[in-house]
Chains A and B, each alone.
Chain A
Amino acid sequence: MSKRIIGLSASTDNVIYVDVEVPDDDDEPLVILEDGNWKLQKGDRSNAYQVLHQQCVDYIREASIEEAVVKASAVMGRMSLKLGMLQTAEVRGIVIAAAASECSVTQLTKGLVSRTYGERNVDDYIEDDDFWAEHTTGKKLRKMSREVAMLLVAARNR
């Protein structure tokens, strides 16, 4: 049985989502069903979070998504904490809570994907057009969404 999975990546004011069908046969490519983004509403962030939460819940419920893979928070070197990072973490929390209310949620860091998937660094795969031609089919996957799709490719192989 194929499985419907969504990949999610949060930023300060936007969430990228990639909705795929994962075929039962591991050799078959992921079928991209939707590649889009949810923009955070401008203005009061509490209202914006409520809207985003509902948007995420609605999508997952109506599309009968079985699992969500979320790009997890990660500490990058010794960077000082900036407001944008905190706000991104807030948005990520909203998305995780919303997804978890409808389906199971897995969180993966980019570093973990790098260490556990394939021979190469994640960024190498993201840049590699042939890799995406081989591993995905269906709707067009935007270049900016490849990092999210990479979570799904990696999650499939775990």
Chain B
Amino acid sequence: MSDYTSGLKVGKKIGNGHFGQVHEAVDPAHGDVAVKVLRRAAWMTDAQWATYKPEHLGEAQNLSRAEHRNVVKVHYVVEGDSGDSVVICMAFCPGGSLQDHFETGPMCLPAVKKVATQVLHGLGALHQRGMIHRDIKPANILIDGKGVAQLGDFGLVTDDLVFGYASDAGYLDHLAYEVWQGSGTSVRSDVWALGMTIYRLLHGKAWYDESAPPQDLVKDGGYADKLKWLPHIPKDWRRVIRKMLADDPARRYQSVQQALNGVAPLCVEPSWDVTVGPDRIEWRRLSGSRRILAEWERISDRKHRWRVWSEPVGSGRSRTLGGSNALTSRRDAEEGLRELLCF
């Protein structure tokens, strides 16, 4: 076996992950694949690496046997030649990760509900097999060639390493309250991280970045009540996300099955296309032969203006549906918009 050489042809870099990079590659047996090379981090001692490597080689090998429609397929795992890396060969997901969607802007309700449901299915399979993901975030949700969401990058974090990780793509923003307090990760901390992921996808990066990062707030408690919502997010969605983000793990969904039942009745209409800019937020959707539009001008912290109107898709007259007649407070703008955007 020492003469064995892999026919793996590694191509361009397609992403950065913890400890290493992800590349496109072509494998003789599996065709297009993604290859993740986990390198020993600079801060790791020999002893830490000696513990980490076999644990994760073993776990990744288990995962390579774990197949599920919503979990990225791991084809095989090998140790790098130098001994300072672990190479994971996985299915290639041409749709990329949801980090790109998050950075582009808010995703619409139907898309987020579909992703949440599919991620929960994948997560449920991992939990049933006694695994905890520990790193659920938009960057670790990949879209396959059929548009199906798959969980990636699982099983690569241990409780010992939770705080040793870099804050790539908001990793620390996805740590639950009890993890900050020193408790280990669990099924329920995965539920917390999914709640954070759903919140981020619904709001997009521009809105998310307007608030202090969760890693600065969660440890103080009461984070779910500090969330700032875009006005079109319906009440039932807010309730489900707050439940997932409760400080007390006992107040969250206790299992993936419960979380799926929480997500199942969520409404997905009206579905808005939303653009968040620094001074202006815009909403658009079609309703029959008319286009419904809304805008919220954020002139300063205290001065806001908003309006909602409809236009015919073809020719015809615009119709005002509501708005502030003069400059108003942020709170009034949010309330006015909420009333007209989620009914």
- Which residues does A use to contact B, with CB under 8 Å? 36-43, 47-48, 51, 54-55, 58-59, 62-63
Q: How long is the Cα–Cα vector from A62 to B69 in the complex, in angstroms? A: 13
Residue interface mask B108-122, A partner, CB < 8 A = 1: 001001100100010
Residues of B contacting A51 with CB < 8 Å? 117, 121, 264
29 pairs across A/B with beta carbons < 8 Å? A36-B257, A36-B258, A37-B261, A38-B257, A38-B260, A38-B261, A39-B261, A39-B264, A39-B265, A41-B117, A41-B263, A42-B265, A42-B267, A42-B268, A47-B114, A48-B264, A51-B117, A51-B121, A51-B264, A54-B69, A55-B121, A55-B260, A58-B124, A58-B125, A59-B257, A62-B124, A62-B125, A62-B128, A63-B128
- Which residues does B use to contact A, with CB under 8 Å? 68-69, 110, 113-114, 117, 121, 124-125, 128-129, 257-258, 260-261, 263-269
Residues of A contacting B269 with CB < 8 Å? 43
Residue of B with least CB distance to A39: B264
Residues of A contacting B266 with CB < 8 Å? 42
Measured CB to CB, the closest approach of chain A to B318, in angstroms, equals: 30
Residues of B contacting A40 with CB < 8 Å? 264
Q: How long is the Cα–Cα vector from A36 to B253 in the complex, in angstroms? A: 13
Residues of A contacting B124 with CB < 8 Å? 58-59, 62
Residues of B contacting A54 with CB < 8 Å? 69, 121
Residues of B contacting A39 with CB < 8 Å? 260-261, 264-265
Say whether B129 contacts A42, CB under 8 Å: no
Residues of A contacting B265 with CB < 8 Å? 39, 41-42
Residues of B contacting A47 with CB < 8 Å? 114
Measured CB to CB, the closest approach of chain A to B189, in angstroms, equals: 20
Residue of A with least CB distance to B117: A51
Say whether B260 contacts A62, CB under 8 Å: no
